[in-house]
């Protein structure tokens, strides 16, 4: 059985499902087997798509008007179609970029394989950029994760002030813009550096 999915979004200029619905029915999808969403493709919570994927059974074919109606990204698209393939469900695109994809045919499966390779390449590039970015940050004295609450100058100011008898910790916290517990993650009550403080100063 052929099951269709249609999605519109005002953000991309689409106003109703009629065009997609007509194309899906012309491709052999009956009206009662068309699932629809009126939502941006970047959203995870697409009830129409979720219901459509649940309705698909082994031997069925999911049909979409254009490739971008289904996937949030190339990676999401490939993962979705790979999951369908594992379930014995075919996937077919009617028009636009990816119109050659029809996983029920050898030629269409080959085209989809190209998309899967591109998605793998995209993941590799993202990983490579992430590793390079972390290495660059470490070379400048920064480590990955949340930004430190205290700068180097503030850590040194806290170190110099906190051990003095006249220092009121609450006033020092107000001056530095942090809570008492945050301050003590950087500098101890006697002015000694703690883990966060050592990380900021690189010692």
Residues assigned a catalytic role: 9
Instruction: Using the Cα atoms of residue 159, residue 163, residue 166 and residue 172 in order, give the sign of their dihedral.
Output: positive
Provide CB contacts within 8 A for 126, sequence distance 6+: none
Q: What 8-state DSSP symbol labels residue 140?
A: T
How far separated are the first and last CA of the chain, in Å rounded?
A: 66
**Paired strand residues for 5:** 35, 64
Do residues 174 and 113 make contact, with C-beta atoms less than 8 angstroms apart? no
């Amino acid at each position: 059985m052929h099951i269709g999915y249609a999605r519109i979004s005002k953000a991309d200029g689409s106003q109703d499902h009629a065009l997609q619905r007509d194309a899906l029915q012309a491709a052999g999808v009956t009206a009662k087997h068309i699932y629809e969403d009126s939502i941006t493709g970047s959203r995870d919570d697409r009830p129409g798509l979720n219901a459509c994927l649940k309705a698909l059974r082994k031997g069925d074919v999911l049909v979409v008007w254009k490739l971008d109606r289904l996937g949030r990204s190339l990676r999401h698209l490939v993962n979705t179609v790979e999951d369908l393939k594992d379930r014995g469900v075919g996937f077919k695109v009617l028009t636009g970029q990816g119109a050659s994809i029809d996983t029920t045919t050898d030629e269409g499966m080959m085209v989809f394989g190209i998309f899967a390779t591109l998605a793998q390449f995209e993941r590799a590039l993202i990983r490579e950029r992430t590793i390079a970015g972390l290495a660059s940050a470490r070379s400048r004295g920064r480590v990955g994760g949340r930004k430190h609450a205290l700068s180097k100058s503030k850590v040194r100011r806290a170190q110099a002030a906190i051990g003095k008898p006249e220092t009121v910790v609450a006033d020092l916290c107000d001056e530095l813009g942090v809570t008492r517990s945050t301050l003590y993650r950087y500098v101890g009550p006697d002015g000694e550096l703690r883990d966060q403080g050592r990380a900021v100063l690189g010692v």
